[in-house]
Amino acid sequence: MRRKTTAKIPPIEIDAKGLTPLGMSPKRFLETYWQKHPVLIRNAFPGYASPVTPEDLAGLACEETALSRMVSHDWDADAWTFRPGPFREEDFPGMPDHDWTLLVQDVDKWDPEIRELFKYFEFIPRWRFDDIMISFAATGGSVGAHIDQYDVFLLQGHGQRRWQIDARPNPPDQFRDDVALKLLREFDPSHDWIVNPGDLLYMPPGVPHHGIAVNPCLTISVGLRAPSSAELIGDYLDNLILDADETIRYHDEDLTAPKDIHEIDNAAMMRAVEALNAIRMNDPDLLGDWFGRFVTAYRNATAVMPYNENASAEEIEQALAESVLLERHPWSRMAWRRNRRGASLFCNGLSFPVTIRDAQQLAAAGAIDDTLYASLSASARMALSELIEIGHYRLAQDDDADFEA
């Protein structure tokens, strides 16, 4: 008789115990948990304190170009209120001390210390990351029980939060129809925790979860991109249409007299399929170039604008020789891909032909110094010159203000 086997479910709570923030090797995490199981990692960042304070977050939420929102909950009536930003400074002193949450997206673009968190997740391709969102919740504050369709690491930065999740197979996923937010109609948690500063909760897509502030707290959400099939197909088809060869058409030189002149028969359908196949982007380099442009532009909420005064190539080389750095704009997303010609470097939907070595160096470098610049090929310098011209790099000066979107 054949023995029935079941997959062993890994521990859902572990203690990092001074090891890496994962409490395990990246290899084990990817094999065991990534997009498979949630896991709470206690003491992932022992003694962690968010470099962004609630006051900092409120100030950022007042910026015109910051993407922010506020969610409030009336527990007695189970009523939810949603307010989009930007907010005014005078909005915050009058807020109650309970039951509301302020959320600000893309804090990594505004704060270099928050951006440093990415280095702890370098076992995941950099282009997969979306942003780092930070939320401040007053006591009792929550955004309700919901499901995310993307991976997220939730780092507790200040105070305590109660996390409830439903880690069982096939949990209910119907949304309420009486609120503007996508909140679950049913939520029955299988696990219930209080997390402290430095604790890290990993949530794969599709796991229902609910966070409630035990006391005033900050939660840092490191989220990853997950374009839907509709988004991929839509952009892919747009590119197909843009580059379609008008000479490729439906043709039927093998036509025979039909039995019914009104019928679309199987032969006609095969000819239609043949015409579609002829315009398909089945060239790996064409397909890769489309995906590189798409994924570096995907969900990029702010357009990078050129500066009024761009330095010439000679001025840039002189500044680099004087130890001034070329800084990459925090909203600039880079990735690269090998191809038959060498490599393509992608930046916010743009593509540049460069060598593999150039692509590796430019994608990895947040700033360019004289040594790196000198090692670049002529094609890479041309690409860099264009990126400087449209605002993706600028010469950094000690007294410069931060980048502006």
| Residues 273-322: tens digit of each pLDDT | 888 877 766 678 888 999 999 999 988 767 788 765 667 888 889 999 99
| Distance from C-alpha of 336 to C-alpha of 344, rounded to nearest angstrom | 6
| Helix (H) or strand (E) run with residue 241 in it | helix 229-243
Q: What is the pLDDT of residue 301?
A: 67
| Distance from C-alpha of 129 to C-alpha of 224, rounded to nearest angstrom | 4
- What is the percent of the chain with per-residue pLDDT over 90, rounded to a whole number? 78
Q: What is the pLDDT of residue 306?
A: 78
Q: Which pair of tokens denotes residue 394?
A: 């600028």
**DSSP 8-state class, residue 127:** G
| Distance from C-alpha of 393 to C-alpha of 374, rounded to nearest angstrom | 17
* Whole-structure pTM value: 0.89
pLDDT digits (tens, 9 = 90+) for 227-277: 999 999 999 888 888 877 788 889 999 999 999 999 999 999 999 988 887
| Distance from C-alpha of 27 to C-alpha of 167, rounded to nearest angstrom | 22
Residue 393 · residue 328 · CB < 8 Å = yes
Q: What is the pLDDT of residue 226?
A: 84
**Class for domain 13-224, per CATH?**
mainly beta
Instruction: Beginning with the edge strand found earlier in the chain, give each strand of the sheet holding 350-354 in spatial order.
Output: 334-339, 342-347, 350-354
What's the whole-number mean pLDDT along residues 19-34?
94
Q: What is the pLDDT of residue 74?
A: 94
pLDDT digits (tens, 9 = 90+) for 388-402: 999 999 998 644 545
Q: CA dihedral in degrees (39, 40, 41, 43; nearest 10)?
A: 180
Q: What is the pLDDT of residue 239?
A: 85
Residue spans per domain, the chain: 13-224, 228-255+262-282, 283-405
| Distance from C-alpha of 402 to C-alpha of 405, rounded to nearest angstrom | 10
Burial-class residue 10 by CB neighbours within 10 Å (0-12, 13-18, 19+). Answer: middle
| Distance from C-alpha of 103 to C-alpha of 85, rounded to nearest angstrom | 9
| Distance from C-alpha of 144 to C-alpha of 148, rounded to nearest angstrom | 12
CATH code that applies to domain 283-405: 3.40.366.30
Burial string for 47-76 (b: 16+ CB within 10 Å, else e) reads ebebebebebbbbbbbbeebbbbbbbbeee
Q: What is the pLDDT of residue 396?
A: 85
Residue 328 · residue 392 · CB < 8 Å = yes
| Distance from C-alpha of 345 to C-alpha of 25, rounded to nearest angstrom | 30
Burial-class residue 381 by CB neighbours within 10 Å (0-12, 13-18, 19+). Answer: middle
Q: What is the pLDDT of residue 5?
A: 42
Which whole-number Å values give the CA distances from 184 to 38, 164, 194, in the listed order? Answer: 19, 13, 21
Asked if 13-224 and 283-405 have one fold, the answer is no
